[in-house]
Structure 1
Amino acid sequence: MKKLMFVILTVILSLGMSACGKKDAQPVAADGESATNSGYPDKAITFSVPSGAGGGLDTTGRALSNLFATEGIVDSTITVENNPGGGQVVGTVDFANKEKGNDYKLLIASTPFVLNHIKKEGNSPVSFRDITPIARLVKEYDVLAVPVDSEYQDMESLMSALKADPTSVSFAGGSGPGSFDHLNVIYPSMKAGVDVKGLKYISYDGGGEALTALLGKNADVISSDVSSVYEYVKAGKVKIIGISSPERLEGDYADIPTYKEQGIDAELTNWRGIYGPEDMSDEAKVYWEEKVAELVATEAWAAEIAKRGWQDGYMASEEFIKLMEKDEDMYTEIYKDLGMAK
């Protein structure tokens, strides 16, 4: 009898362990969901944008939201919320600290997210290691632009004025000191031989506010991404006097001279990417990685980035993480040269 009971208990334990093992090793379908399909996402998604409305980062978040819906790639409703302040510091820190494990909120951020963690002033305690990188989406270049009636019609006239008196020109940017927009003022100026310690840079919560300041004559020059500025170029209100790209862009932007061709050896690349929170579930991470990869392969996405003046910069998560590590090293060296590193 004891022997029979031992056999029965052994069989029961064996079946129980087998069932547990099957639960832990559920087969994964091609779309990234488990074969049991938990139904993620089953409610609305929010894209958090750490800048004000109207700038390039905001435009990226809204373009993603729109195309995920119109292309039928994501069924759930996606809303975009703005959380500006400190050149992405407020929004990225809030996201990292408050949204841990929240699979229904994602962050849209750009190069300043990396810069804010390594610069000395106004720095952020949060880096890309504190959240979940999903993909790099696009890359873009910054420009220096002026009102059409400005006395500065090219980089030479601007740099001449700065060399004579670095405080004579006021710059507006959609992010804080040490940010990408700020570097786009300081780095080419430094390369042109300007004493950059005296430069006047006014930070705003997004490119839209910076453009308003420029058009309202509250700044002489704007530092911003080319797509945000170009609508005002077409409207005849603004002139771009230089772009940070390694060579001239194509299409609508072909007439914009680079800093390099105007004798200033400076080149800077901005990118924008999408992130999940820390402790994001594996299921949600795989879902968004595959949905983004599906979107960037569409003709609609290609048309969108062409319309916006963005460059294709898609990178999957692993490659994106390596890029951010390299960016940290490169910009840390630039900040050291400028006396702005931590």
Structure 2
Amino acid sequence: MTMGWTPERDVVLLAGTPAGGGQDRPARALLAILAEQGLVGAPMSLVNIPGRGGGNAWDDLARHPGEAHRLAINSPTILSNRALGVSGLAWDSLTPLCNLYTEHLAFIVRPDSSITDAAALLRRLGTDTAGLPIALATAIGNANHIALAHLTRHAGGEVGALGIAVFDSARDAIAHVLAGHAELGVITAASPVPELTAGTARCLAVSAPARMEGVYAGVPTWREEGVDLVAGPWRGVIGPAGLSPEQSAFWEEALRAATAGEAWREELARRHWSDTFLTGEALRGFLREEDASMTDALRELGLLRESPPG
């Protein structure tokens, strides 16, 4: 670990979703490993600030420039929020520290759903777009929404007619489906594992590049179903603006060490996460590319509502 700077007091890690949500899960896993391996040398705690797909947590960071004891989980919504005019906060006005992983999407229904398979879902999206109630997390215009729009366009449906209920947590979106309020859920693959295991939900397809393992072993990819769709949100760690090079270096090294061991590898496998760890200029280049491609996708799919604020 670098000796140029070390934490001098308690550290807070923010998650922009409720407990059990897509940003909460990596936060808890990281905190456990950082503590177990003694990589920080100061107490760390988790604070959940849900809302706007993580936007409320990132706004909190923006109010604490130079505060290296306050970090947050990062996700693609930081890009889509700005592209859609939901937020004026740009990712590069904060300090990205690392990318952790990418998780692909599961398209789930109730076991007794009349949507029997992926082909049936495509038919429904093409012929009855507005009549299909859908639940997703965590924000309009996020990776889940873009993937759903891609499928709808492929099926010949009207993207603007999609009937979507948005939740701060994938767990809430799943509950909405199971309660019968939505017919389809589009959520990260880790989220419905308990329901898929128990048989209270059924997965039609996943947006992974190849077949997944565990409860997803028998589930086709969208590519197998004739749709060129590989998609899913990434998660990272981001800090406030104004961190010194020494502070950024400390956190990059701590996060690299935490994700290099067997405990993190086991977490990746258990959660169906794909390792996409990046730091430094490689991370910033990745975020620049993601920002441009997401803006293009939102515009092409009719989801871009206004130009990003200057």
When normalised by structure 1's length, the TM-score is: 0.85
Which residue of the partner structure matches residue 2 of structure 2? 32
Question: In the alignment, which of 51, 59, 78 is matched to residue 44 of structure 2?
Answer: 78
Instruction: State the alpha-carbon separation in 2 of the partners of residues 258 and 203 from structure 1.
Output: 24
Shift of 1:42: 2.3
C-alpha displacement of 1:75: 2.8
2:23 alignment counterpart:
57
CA deviations on 1:267-325 (whole Å, 9 max, x unpaired) are 21321000111011322211110011111111111111111111111111221111111
Partner residue in 1 for 2:150: 187
1:249 matches 2:249 = no
The 2-side partners of 1:169 and 1:193 are apart by 14
For structure 1, the 5+ residue unaligned runs are 1-30
Residue 176 of structure 2 corresponds to residue 213 of structure 1: yes
The secondary structure found in structure 2 opposite 1:156 is helix
Alignment of 1:96-107 (within 5 A): 96=62, 98-107=63-72
- Provide the aligned C-alpha RMSD in A: 1.6
Q: Check if 1:230 corresponds to 2:193.
A: yes
Gaps of 5+ in 2: none
Letter in 2 for 1:79: S
How many residues align? The count is 305
Q: Which amino acid aligns with 1:271?
A: W
Asked if residue 115 in structure 1 is aligned to residue 110 in structure 2, the reply is no
CA distance in structure 2 between the aligned counterparts of 1:313 and 1:153, rounded to whole angstroms: 33
- Correspondences of 1:14-33 after superposition (within 5 Å): 31-33=1-3
- 1:17 is aligned to none
- Structure with greater proportional helix content: 1
Partner residue of 2:272 out of 281, 306, 309: 309
Structure 1 residues 281-292: aligned runs within 5 Å: 281-292=244-255
2:233 aligns with 270
Q: Percent identity?
A: 28
Which amino acid is the alignment partner of residue 171 of structure 2?
A: G
1:54-83 Cα shifts (integer Å, max 9, x gaps): 122110111101111122322322111111
Measured in 2, the distance between the counterparts of 1:338 and 1:238 equals: 29
Match of 2:294 in 1: 331
TM-score (norm 2): 0.93
**Could you tell me how far apart the structure 2 residues matched to 1:209 and 1:252 are?**
20
Deviation at 1:162, TM superposition (A): 2.4
Q: CA deviation at 1:251?
A: 4.7
- SS of 1:259's partner is coil
Seen in structure 2, the aligned counterparts of structure 1 residues 229 and 102 have a Cα distance that, compared at 3 Å, is: same
1:7 corresponds to which residue?
none
1:249 is displaced (CA, Å) by: 2.5
Alignment match of 1:158 (pick from 121, 125, 132): 121
